[in-house]
Chains A and B, each alone.
Chain A
Amino acid sequence: MKRDFDVIVIGSGVAGAIAAYRLAKLNARVLILEAGNHNPSRAQMVGGYATATLPKSLHSPYVQITSDKDAPSPDSSINYYDTPDGFVRFRSTYERRTGGATWHWLGHTPRMLRSDFKMKSTYGGGPDFPDGFVDWPISYDDLEPWYCEAEAELGVAGSDAEWQNLFHSPRSKPFPMSMIWPSYSDRWIAGQINDKKFEGSVYRVLSTPSARNSTLYDGRPPCAGNSICVPLCPIGAKYDGAVHVAKAVEKGATLWEQTVVTRLEKDKDSSVHKVEFATYGDLNKKNRRASPVTAEVVIIAANAIETPKLLLISELANKSGKVGFYLMDHLSKSTYGKASEPLFPFRGPPSTSGIESFRDGEFRREYAGFRLSLNNDGWGRKGSPYADIVDLVTNERRIGMELQQALFDRIGRQLRLSCSVEVAPDPANRVELSTMKDALGVFRPKVTFAAPQYSLKGLAHATSTMKNMFEILGEKSPDLGEVGAFDGAGHIMGTCRMGDDASKSVVDANCCSHDHHNLFLLGAAVFPSCGSPNPTLTIAALALRGADHIAKHLGLKTMQVV
Chain B
Amino acid sequence: MNDSKSIDTRSDLLKLLCEAAELEQGIACSYLYAGFSLKRDLAEGGMTWEQQQTVRRWASQIYFIASQEMLHLALVWNMTTAIGGTPYYLRPNFPQPSRYYPLHVPIELEPFGPRSLRRFILYEHPEKVAPQRKLKSLFALAGEDAEKIEFGSVGELYGLIKSGFNNIPEKNLFIGSRTQQMSSDLVHFPDLVKVVGKASAIAAIEEITHQGEGIAHDRENSHFGAFVAMLKELVHAKGRGFSPARPAMQNPAARLDASYGGKAKAIGNPVAAEVAGLFDSVYSLMLRMLAWSFEFDSAGVEDQLRKFCSVAIDLMPRVLLPLGEGLMLMPAGPRYPGKTAGPGFGLTRHVMLPPDAKNARQLCKERLEELASLGGTLLKQQLPDSVKNGCRHLQAIANAFLT
Contact = CB atoms under 8 A, between A and B. Distances in A.
B83 to A, nearest CB: 26
A216 B226 contact: yes
B49 A219 contact: no
Contact of B57 (A214, A219, A221): A221
Given A216-B221, A222-B64, A224-B57, A47 B226 contact: no
Interface string A166-188: 00000000000011010000000
Interface string A42-68: 010011001000000000000000000
Contacts of A235: 53, 57, 60
B222 interface: yes
A216 B222 contact: yes
Contacts of A221: 57, 60-61, 64, 226
A218 B190 contact: no
Interface string B190-224: 11000000000000000000010000000011110
Interface of A: 43, 46-47, 50, 178-179, 181, 214-219, 221-222, 224-225, 234-235
Given A216-B226, A221-B57, A178 B49 contact: no
Contacts of B220: 216, 219
Contacts of B49: 47, 50
A219 B53 CA distance: 18
Contacts of A218: 221
Given A181-B190, A216-B225, A218-B221, A46 B60 contact: no
Contacts of A217: 221
Contacts of B226: 216, 221
Nearest to B59: A224
Contact of B190 (A43, A214, A219): A214
B222 to A, nearest CB: 7
Interface residues of B, number: 18
A181 B184 CA distance: 12
Interface in B52-96: 53, 56-57, 60-61, 64, 68
13 contacts: A178-B190, A181-B190, A214-B190, A215-B221, A216-B61, A221-B57, A221-B61, A222-B60, A224-B56, A224-B57, A224-B61, A234-B57, A235-B57
Nearest to B48: A43
B68 to A, nearest CB: 8
Contact of A224 (B50, B60, B191, B223): B60
A450 to B, nearest CB: 43
Interface of B: 49-50, 53, 56-57, 60-61, 64, 68, 190-191, 211, 220-223, 225-226
Given A216-B223, A224-B61, 18 more contacts: A47-B50, A50-B49, A179-B190, A181-B190, A214-B190, A215-B64, A215-B221, A216-B221, A218-B221, A219-B220, A221-B60, A222-B61, A224-B60, A224-B64, A225-B60, A234-B57, A235-B53, A235-B60
Given A214-B190, A216-B222, A219-B220, A43 B61 contact: no
Contacts of B64: 215-216, 221-222, 224
A214 B61 CA distance: 11
Contacts of A222: 60-61, 64
Given A216-B225, A222-B64, A235-B57, A178 B50 contact: no
Those 8 A-B pairs whose CB atoms lie nearest each other, nearest first = A224-B60, A216-B221, A43-B50, A219-B220, A178-B190, A235-B57, A222-B64, A178-B191
Q: Which of A50, A181, A214, A216: most chain B CB closer than 10 A? A: A216
A218 B225 CA distance: 11
B306 to A, nearest CB: 13
A235 to B, nearest CB: 5
Contacts of A216: 61, 64, 220-223, 225-226
Nearest to B222: A216
A214 B64 CA distance: 9
A122 B57 CA distance: 48
A222 B226 CA distance: 11
Contacts of B56: 224
Nearest to B223: A216
Contacts of B61: 216, 221-222, 224
A30 B63 CA distance: 41
A178 B67 CA distance: 14
A222 B67 CA distance: 12
A178 B192 CA distance: 11
Contacts of A50: 49
Contacts of B223: 216
Nearest to A222: B64
A262 to B, nearest CB: 39
Nearest to A46: B53
A43 B48 CA distance: 11
Nearest to A42: B53
A221 B49 CA distance: 20
B252 to A, nearest CB: 27
A392 to B, nearest CB: 22
B352 to A, nearest CB: 30
Contacts of B222: 216
A47 B53 CA distance: 10
A235 B49 CA distance: 14
Nearest to A234: B53
A216 B218 CA distance: 11
A224 B65 CA distance: 12
A49 B211 CA distance: 34
B248 to A, nearest CB: 22
A50 B48 CA distance: 14
A412 B225 CA distance: 39
A47 B49 CA distance: 9
Contacts of B221: 215-219
Contacts of A43: 50, 53
A239 to B, nearest CB: 15
A26 to B, nearest CB: 19
Contacts of A215: 64, 68, 211, 221
